[in-house]
């Protein structure tokens, strides 16, 4: 079994697209394509056609290029069967279902919160998570449709993955997230050290993706709503209550 190469590319203002290359053929899959021209260019650069399109959720900045790409490459569109606002799907996935792609298996993890229907794709062979807008480095997605209960449950599913998991998030929000994280966790030395690296990546115009679950578990406040440090800060031992307050604080930051 071979590990696929993943190519990270910027789309629109601050979105990321991910190209998953088939190690055995001149074809690739793209996760959440929104910028047609850039998707075409990254496929050309890799001398690939587009066999599959993987969608995490229905927001326009994750699906805008689907119709045109499908028309051009005759790609199979894959998404969550319950997300009725997605473009029409060729393969509709169920929660906990498995997708076979280029010899690897991806588990479908339903993660409501940002939207009521949202899935992450977890490569169980090489521990890679395509997280869409559920989890960002040092942050999580805005809670547009879900509830704190649902969102925290979704984050808990991610927390339980192997700690070596590499996470490919839908946006480059890391520097802004760092500023918020530091404001509520100013003595976290590992967070400060990571902050120096983020600033350097930003100056060099380099992505902060993928991030590592082992690190996020120590410095992403939204994954630490069940940590005694935040129990004290938020005067509560209920992770859902803490998540709710933290999310509100971030929205107003
Ligand atoms: Zn979104």
Helices then strands (H, E): number in the chain? 9, 14
At 220 the pLDDT is 98
At 1 the pLDDT is 87
| pLDDT tens digit sequence for 9-41 | 999 999 999 999 999 999 999 999 999 999 999
Residues 6+ apart with CB under 8 A from 64: 33, 34, 35, 36
> How far is the centre of ligand 1, averaged over its atoms, from the C-alpha of 26 (Å)?
30
Return the bridge partners of 27, or none: 49
The two three-digit tokens of residue 115, written as one number:
């939207």
On whether the 6-251 domain is CATH 3.60.15.10, my answer is yes
> How far is the centre of ligand 1, averaged over its atoms, from the C-alpha of 15 (Å)?
10
> How far is the centre of ligand 1, averaged over its atoms, from the C-alpha of 114 (Å)?
7
Helix, strand, coil shares, percent, the chain, to 5: 35, 25, 40
In angstroms, the CA 45 to CA 239 distance is 45
Q: Which residues surround ligand 1, an ion (CB under 5 A)?
A: 59, 133
In angstroms, the CA 100 to CA 109 distance is 15
At 180 the pLDDT is 98
At 83 the pLDDT is 97
> How far is the centre of ligand 1, averaged over its atoms, from the C-alpha of 208 (Å)?
19
At 103 the pLDDT is 96
In angstroms, the CA 158 to CA 206 distance is 25
Share above pLDDT 70 across residues of the chain, in percent, rounded to a whole number: 100
> How far is the centre of ligand 1, averaged over its atoms, from the C-alpha of 237 (Å)?
29
> How far is the centre of ligand 1, averaged over its atoms, from the C-alpha of 39 (Å)?
19
In angstroms, the CA 123 to CA 120 distance is 10
- Strands (E) in the chain, as ranges, are 6-11, 15-21, 27-31, 49-54, 76-80, 91-93, 98-101, 104-110, 119-123, 128-132, 135-136, 139-140, 166-169, 211-212
Q: Determine contact, residues 21/48, Cβ cutoff 8 Å.
A: yes
Q: Determine contact, residues 109/139, Cβ cutoff 8 Å.
A: no
pLDDT by 10-residue block (mean), the chain, 253 residues: 95 97 97 98 97 98 98 98 97 98 98 98 98 98 98 98 98 98 98 98 96 98 98 97 98 97
The two three-digit tokens of residue 145, written as one number:
């449709």
> How far is the centre of ligand 1, averaged over its atoms, from the C-alpha of 236 (Å)?
29
Domain boundaries, the chain: 6-251
> How far is the centre of ligand 1, averaged over its atoms, from the C-alpha of 171 (Å)?
9
* Residue 90, SS3 per DSSP: coil
């Amino acid at each position: 079994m071979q590990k696929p190469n993943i190519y990270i590319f910027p789309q629109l203002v601050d979105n990321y697209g991910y190209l998953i290359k088939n190690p055995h053929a001149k074809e690739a899959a793209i996760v959440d394509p929104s910028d047609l021209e850039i998707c075409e260019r990254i496929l050309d650069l890799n001398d690939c056609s587009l066999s599959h399109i993987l969608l995490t959720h229905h927001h326009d900045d994750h699906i805008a290029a689907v119709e045109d790409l499908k028309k051009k490459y005759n790609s199979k569109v894959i998404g969550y069967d319950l997300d009725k606002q997605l473009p029409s799907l060729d393969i509709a996935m169920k929660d906990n279902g498995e997708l076979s792609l280029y010899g690897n298996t991806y588990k479908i993890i339903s993660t409501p919160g940002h939207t009521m229907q949202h899935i992450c794709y977890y490569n169980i062979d090489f521990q890679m998570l395509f997280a869409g807008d559920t989890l960002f480095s040092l942050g999580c997605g805005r809670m547009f449709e879900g509830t704190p209960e649902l969102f925290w449950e979704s984050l808990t599913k991610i927390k339980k993955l192997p700690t070596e998991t590499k996470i490919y998030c839908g946006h480059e929000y890391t520097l802004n997230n760092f500023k918020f994280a530091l404001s509520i966790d100013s003595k976290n030395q590992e967070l400060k050290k990571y902050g120096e690296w983020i600033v350097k990546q930003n100056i060099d115009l380099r992505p902060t993706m993928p991030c590592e679950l082992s690190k996020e578990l120590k410095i992403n406040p939204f994954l630490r709503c069940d940590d005694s440090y935040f129990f004290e800060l938020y005067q509560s031992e209920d992770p859902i209550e803490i998540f709710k307050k933290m999310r509100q604080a971030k929205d107003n930051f």
